[in-house]
Amino acid sequence: MQRSKVLCNSKNKVSKVRDICPECKKNVGRDNESETPVRNSQAEAQTPMAPISAGSPLMETTISEESAGDKPSGATDMTSDKTGQDKQMDVAFQLQAIMEELRGLRQEVLELRKELKSLSDACNGRMDTIEARLLVLEERHAEVPADATAVEGVVEQLKRELNERDQELMANDLVIANLQESQAENPVHVVKIIATKLGVQLDDRDIVYAERIGGRHLKATSPTKSAEVRPRAVMVRLARRDLRDAFLDSARLRRGATSEDLGLPGPARRFYVNERLTKSNQELFRQARAAAGIHGWRFVWTKRGRILVRNKPGDQARRIGTVQDIQDIIGQYTV
């Protein structure tokens, strides 16, 4: 609360005293002089007070005191109200911003759901296409075995036909096996000597050519002896098929003939005269002989490129053309 200003004279007496400041009050003499008039209550009541102008210092002081005295209650209330309104506005703005963010997030979620739905539809469409194609492939795969079997049958038939044609080209050929071999031998002369021994007359014009076929082979012996070279077979092509048939018949009649008296180096050994077969027929003949040995079939031979088997004398000869024929006619076997 503001205090009013106090004007003091030179005699340290208060003019227009309302309050005395402590500094002036302590300088006032207290002599209790008699000339000091005493104002009674009636005089004081009758004495008119001087009017106070609006611009006087006392009025300004009073107004300032009153305004200062009224400020704490009203101003504080207005300030608190304003602060509360500001806080409410801030909260409203924040809530509005949150709502805007939620609206944006909701829109993004909706767009994301639309994209996911489109992707799901596309994936479902592709899966349906893949399933349809897989079903078609499975149906084709189910039909493949019959087609494959037919194709395999055609291939096997073609192989047999080609093998038969190759065998026909060897109709005039003979193979003489287990015959001694020397460095300076003449295969044509050796064939003529063997034919003479078997009772077949051949001259140079009847022999188209004769030669050793295959590579040299080492025959395994005991560890104490050196390895022995196994002789290669002699392949002979005659000019006519009847000569070949006569040569084979004479060899079968004189089965067990040896190289003795043939003028060949080395000890005498038994030699064998057979038809020349293709590689396929050679393998088939080997398997037929192996199966016959297992099941006790006594006769396996070849005639004009065909493989024939017979279980015992008096039985009908059966022709072997494929591996399946061996299993069907002779029986199962393990190679």
pLDDT tens series, the chain, 335 aa: 444 444 444 444 444 444 566 666 666 555 555 555 555 544 444 444 444 444 444 444 444 444 445 545 555 666 777 787 888 888 889 999 999 999 999 999 999 999 999 999 999 999 999 999 999 988 887 776 666 677 888 888 899 999 999 999 999 999 999 888 888 889 999 999 999 999 999 888 999 999 998 877 666 555 555 556 788 999 999 999 999 999 999 999 988 888 887 778 878 889 999 999 999 999 999 999 999 999 999 999 999 889 999 998 988 999 998 888 999 998 877 65
Residue 334: predicted pLDDT: 66
Angstrom distance (rounded) from CA 246 to CA 238: 11
pLDDT of residue 32: 53
Write down the pLDDT at residue 88: 86
Q: How many CB atoms lie within 10 A of CB 224?
A: 5
The per-residue pLDDT for 309 is 94
What residues contact 195, with CB distance under 8 A and at least 6 apart?
201, 202, 247
Angle formed by the axes of helices 279-295 and 57-169, to 10°? 80
Give the per-residue pLDDT at 288: 93
**pLDDT at res. 156:** 87
Amino acid at 156: E
Alpha-helical regions (H) of the chain = 22-25, 41-46, 57-169, 187-198, 241-253, 279-295, 323-329
Collect all residues with Cβ–Cβ distance below 8 Å to 263 and sequence separation of at least 6.
193
Q: At what angle do helices 241-253 and 187-198 cross, to 10 degrees?
A: 60
Q: Please indicate, yes or no, whether the overall pTM of this predicted structure exceeds 0.85.
A: no
Taking the mean position of all CA atoms in its chain, how far away is CA 113?
A: 32
Q: What is the pLDDT of residue 41?
A: 46
Q: Residue 317: what pLDDT? A: 92
Secondary element (H or E) of residue 301: strand 299-303
Q: Which fold has domain 171-215+231-276?
A: Alpha-Beta Plaits (3.30.70)
